[in-house]
Structure 1
Amino acid sequence: MQRLLGGFLVTLRVAVIVLIVGGILGVLLGALRTLHNRPLQVILRVYLEIFRIIPTVVLLFVAYYILPQTFGLNLPGEAVAILVFTLWTAAEMSDIVRGALESVPVHQKESGEAIGLTQTQLFRYVLIPQAIPVVLPGTINLATRIIKTTSLLLMISVMDIVNVGQTLVEANGHKNPSAAFWIYGAMFVLYYILCAPLSQWAKRVEKKRLERANG
């Protein structure tokens, strides 16, 4: 259990860093995607489609095995995973933020422009405050997806909870046939402890938002 908890902390550390950095980058990209700038929109669209179409595990392999050989880099697996997951999270988050910003009624934007607000002030005082209730449920659901996606760390030999659990099963399975049941059971419980409260929170937030929207 001590080794499993050590792997669990690695999983949690990667997930938290990715959510914070990727979330901040995603908010910025989401705001940029609402601007009427054709070249910028093309660049952001290509970026989004890359991370939407190509499986995350493929991006992880490319970043861990191919790029270091091509450019002579020597990055630890955890750093590579954080980089890839952060870029993927930013793409997903930008879609959530863009949709929330565009859901703000047009007359709200026009009113802000009419009183002389700059683009930055319009985002700060009008768009973002009204978009937050819309963004929150999707962001919480994204957090659970990030936690589950960290299981791919196994593919690049990072000692996360899945890798540690698999190692323990292989080392003890021949001595104790029931080892796999207890080890994978413990992994299930740890993942459940992380994801279940987030899932329930997202449902409550979405329910309250719909109740407010319906008066």
Structure 2
Amino acid sequence: MADLGISVLFEGSNFLRLLGGLWTTVWIAGLSLILGSIIGVFVGIAMLSKNRVVRVLMRIYLDFIRIMPQLVLLFLVYFGLARVASINLSGAASAVVVFTLWGAAEMGDLVRGALISIPRHQYESAEALGMNRAQTYRSVILPQAVRHLLPLSINLATRMIKTTTLIALIGVIEALKVGQQIIDANRFDYPDAALWIYGVIFLAYFLICFPLSLGARRLEKKWAN
């Protein structure tokens, strides 16, 4: 067994450390998705604003986030803010900031698309009933848009979970970083440890992301009928 390298998983607290690193990944991605979704709703509505300046600003924000690689954004927030603005954020806090900004931009575009998909007469009917803009969105438009939005939001969640592997490069001890530490510490006793460590990490990400992807596909098929 030791020759196969699988024993490294059960040496000391290695397996528990991997689970702890995975939890770091999950809570950073989960918190960022929640914050990004809340902000993204307002960003999506702002993208359809009658005010041209607001629309242009939202478009610049979306394009900037999409063009800039997430790793560069992580470095800008983690290293740049500390140097330029003397704001010292931890690696985890920097990750939450970056993934929230990314999630808000992506969610905003999803919300915009979902709102556009609502027939125009729905807006006109709400206006005829005397609803103001806020009431129209809250009571008529957003509940319908959720059907279009939810499957795409789940797909965004899986993308965010997978992309959090980048936070190891700013010192956050997540699953991949823990795995690298275990491999480095046991490279002589368990030369094949990488196969098992990365295999467990792959399996953990699969068990988290596959059910989400499956749920998104089922929702799409259910609501398409």
Which interval holds the TM-score relative to the shorter structure? over 0.9
**Counterpart position of 2:46:** 32
1:69-91 per-residue CA deviation (whole Å, 9 max, x = no partner) reads: 11112211100110011000000
- Correspondence list, 1:30-179, <5 A: 30-179=44-193
Q: What TM-score comes out, normalization by structure 2 length?
A: 0.92
**2:65, 2:87 → 1: CA distance?**
22
Contact 2:78 2:88 (8 Å CA) reproduced: no
The aligned length equals: 211
Residue 62 of structure 1: CA displacement?
1.0
> Structure 2 counterpart of 1:120, which letter?
A
SS at match of 2:89: coil
1:4 aligns with 2:11: no
Mapped contact 2:25–2:175 kept (Cα < 8 A): yes
Pairwise CA distance, 1:42: 1.1
Q: How does 1:168-207 map to 2 (within 5 A)?
A: 168-207=182-221
CA deviation profile, 1:134-160 (whole Å, cap 9, x unmatched): 001100000001100110111101000
Structure 2 residue aligned with 1:15, among 12, 22, 29?
A: 29
Identity %: 48
Report the Cα distance in structure 2 between the residues aligned to 1:71 and 1:33, rounded to whole angstroms: 30
Runs of 4 or more consecutive aligned structure 1 residues displaced over 4 Å after TM superposition? none
Counterparts of 1:180 and 1:123, CA distance in 2 = 51
CA RMSD of aligned residues (A): 0.8
Q: Runs of 5+ in structure 2 lacking a partner?
A: 1-14
Q: Deviations over 1:49-70 (max 9, x none)?
A: 1101111111111111122111
Contact 2:21–2:173 under 8 Å retained in 1 = yes
**Counterpart amino acid of 2:102?**
W
How many angstroms apart in 1 are the aligned matches of 2:150 and 2:85? 39
**CA apart distance, 1:178:** 1.7
AA of the residue aligned to 1:100: A
The one-letter code of the counterpart of 2:151 is P
Structure 1 residue 174 displacement after superposition: 2.1
